[in-house]
Amino acid sequence: MIAATHGVRGLRIAHLIECDGPGGAERMIASLAIELQQAGAQNLVILPANGEGWLEQQLDGSGVAIEHFRLDRPVSLACARWIADVLREHRISLAHCHEFSMGVYGAWAAWRARIPHLVTMHGGRYYAERLRRRVALRAGTVLGGQVVAVSHELARQLRRELWLPASRVSTIPNGVRYVPATHSTLRDELNLAPGDRLAVAVGNLYSVKGHRFAVEALALLQTRYPRLHLAIAGRGDLADALQRQAEDYGVGGRLHLLGLRGDISNVLAGADVFVLPSVSEGLPLALLEAMLSGRPVVASDVGEVRTVLDDGAAGVLVPAGDAAALADALAGLLHAPDHARELGRRATERATSGYGIARMVARYAALYAELLTGHTSPRQRTAVTAH
């Protein structure tokens, strides 16, 4: 990675995001900023003043600087001016904004500070239904920035819904640094017997993650696999609803809500199969981590998932929101352990070759260089698109 990112040495890069909880975008920022810092760049992360503090904790001791913004109303010119002042104070060379709010405020601030910027969008459902938000995000891009999508499907959506030419939208898949656990304590933690089977999902308990379909699939498999358990690592408002759903289906004792976990490698190592039941995704980090752990995967065919799983060669794809298909796919893997192990092996090879952290960081470093080189003449800038 050092050779691929040598051009970032000495750059001053600001990363801006509107929230700092343990989500995929925040985890990606932590990895990117730390890797760039180690490659010789000076990084600043601008976070909300009233946030959770999770992302700041991840950056502790890395050398990455932190500043906190306050956004107390939907439209705040004072916030944008404050961000612009911070960019100047830290002598930032380039602003890397993430998600909608900072895609707007950060873009405006970067324009005021006269530096290039880019916006990485990790998903699209939360802005696409509101015309005002689409117009605001497009305006941020028109100020001279580049939009980066984490999946090709999201890139197509952004071009269509923000009325942007292809040259303004790049695709850079997420990447992860992952060290598999050699032993897992999860099964002992859950008091599972040797003959019990365990499916694991990782993701915050939001409707878009589709955990209700995984619970329904667990219920559908009661007769065929009465010793199958489902563990979900994540937190969110749907915890009680999922537990009630499991109780209503008669599988309450086999659903385990693990809450927020800092030991995902340990959790994955205890699984017989990994489940991604989402109804919408960009490119989920949890999927990449599961693949690198060697777990066989059953995943909804959404976002970039089909591409990551090599059209089903490295995992089983099912229609989103189809609990019956999810149950059948799980049963197929549990019934054929040799096939499941082969899928796990292919998944590891696929993730290692295409979705490591070094590859992602190198792609962003190349895009930074393009933006900085072409800042005085935006029309001559060439989009850097990962294929």
Quote the mean pLDDT of the chain.
Answer: 91
What is the model's pLDDT at position 67? 97
Q: What per-residue confidence (pLDDT) applies to 72?
A: 79
Residue 338 scores a pLDDT above 90: yes
Residue 359: phi and psi, rounded to 5, are -65, -45
% residues pLDDT > 70 (the chain):
93
**DSSP secondary structure letters along 85-120:** HHHHHTT-SEEEEEHHHHHHHHHHHHHHHT--EEEE
* Cβ atoms within 10 Å of 364's Cβ, excluding its own: 23
Read off the pLDDT of residues 182-222 as tens digits, 9 standing for 90 and up.
Answer: 899 999 999 999 999 999 999 999 999 999 999 999 999 99
Region of poorest pLDDT, from 18-22, 118-122, 181-185, 371-375: 371-375
For the CA atoms of 367, 368, 372, 374, the dihedral, rounded to the nearest 10 degrees, stands at: 10
Residue 135 scores a pLDDT above 90: no
* Full-model pTM: 0.84
Predicted confidence at residue 381, as pLDDT, reads 36
Q: Which tokens is 9 given?
A: 């040495």
**Does residue 220 contact residue 323 with C-beta atoms inside 8 Å?**
yes
Q: What is the pLDDT of residue 126?
A: 57
Mean pLDDT of 154-179: 89
- Say yes or no to pLDDT of 166 above 70: yes
Task: Copy the structure tokens of residue 204.
Answer: 């915050």
Q: Is 16 exposed, middle or buried, given 0-12, 13-18 or 19+ CB atoms closer than 10 A?
A: buried
The whole-number average pLDDT for the span 168-192 is: 92
* CB contact at 8 A, 148 and 172: yes
> pLDDT grade, residue 124 (50/70/90)?
low
pLDDT > 60? residue 385: no
Range name among 7-16, 74-83, 311-320 with the lowest pLDDT average: 74-83
Find the mean pLDDT for residues 18-30: 91
Average pLDDT on 54-70 reads: 96
Q: Return the minimum-mean-pLDDT range out of 50-64, 140-154, 245-259.
A: 140-154
Q: What is the pLDDT of residue 100?
A: 86
For residue 341, pLDDT over 50 is answered with yes
Q: Give dist(CA 378, CA 373) in Å, integer.
A: 9
Note the pLDDT of residue 128: 57
Q: Which helix (H) or strand (E) holds 354?
A: helix 337-354
Whether 282 shows a pLDDT value over 50: the answer reads yes
Phi, psi of 346 (to 5 degrees): -65, -40
Distance CA 301, CA 147 (A): 24
Strand order in the sheet with 94-98: 65-69, 42-48, 12-17, 94-98, 117-121, 146-149, 169-171
State how far the Cα of 61 lies from the Cα of 36, in Å rounded to an integer.
14
Residue 172: CB atoms within 10 A of its CB come to 24
Instruction: Say how far residue 161 (Cα) sits from the centre of its chain.
Output: 21
339-344: long-range contacts (C-beta < 8 A, 24 or more apart)?
A: 340/272, 340/273, 340/296, 341/296, 343/296, 343/297, 343/314, 343/315, 343/316, 344/294, 344/295, 344/296, 344/297
* Total Cβ atoms within 10 A of residue 48: 18
Indicate the DSSP class of residue 379.
G
Q: Which domains does the chain have, with CATH numbers?
A: 6-176+356-380 (3.40.50.2000), 186-354 (3.40.50.2000)
pLDDT tens digits for 346-373?
Answer: 999 999 999 999 999 999 999 999 999 8
- 163-167, 201-205, 288-292, 362-366: least confidently modelled range: 163-167
